[in-house]
A = this chain, B = another copy of it.
């Protein structure tokens, strides 16, 4: 059991997000127990994703074409850009089917603790694609870092494109949320931002 390739595979699997050493062991066993049925299809899926998927040089989303299919989609509203932290956020937003504009993936949020400085985020490419844009929608996380980043980016945008509307996602009670179990700040924000019934 201490042989290299198995242990090495388990260690690599355990580095995946949401995976511990126990589940990594389980997955490794699953893969090795039937190489043809389990291992090979995963390997070819990884290889094909590795070869074909790339980052869109415009919005930094992942796709098999560059610029990505959202950036080149003829029906997307080119006057709106939604600013998000990660590609997963873009997928989540696309799943809602509600938003019809473009995206820009920032690649994270500013964080002094994690050493994320403005030059590590794709702020430059955002600023270079602002011509013809009417609205930037800040959809970064409602965390301290997320909000500080949104504030910083908004400042940069205003320096050169003062006429662009900068909006943000609404804060409030999540749909399906029980008031009793909401945290204080969400509840206070929801009360402050209350609307007509």
Contact = CB atoms under 8 A, between A and B. Distances in A.
B43 A6 contact: no
Complex copy number for this chain: 2
A116 interface: no
Q: Give the size range of A's interface with the partner.
A: 35 or more
A120 B187 CA distance: 59
Given A42-B46, A90-B1, A32 B6 contact: no
- Tell me whether chain A's interface is mostly helix, strand or loop, or mixed: helix
Interface string A12-29: 110111110001011111
A41 B39 CA distance: 16
Contacts of A45: 5, 8-9, 11-13
Interface of A: 1, 3-6, 8-9, 11-13, 15-19, 23, 25-33, 35, 38-43, 45-53, 62-65, 69, 86-88, 90-91, 94-95
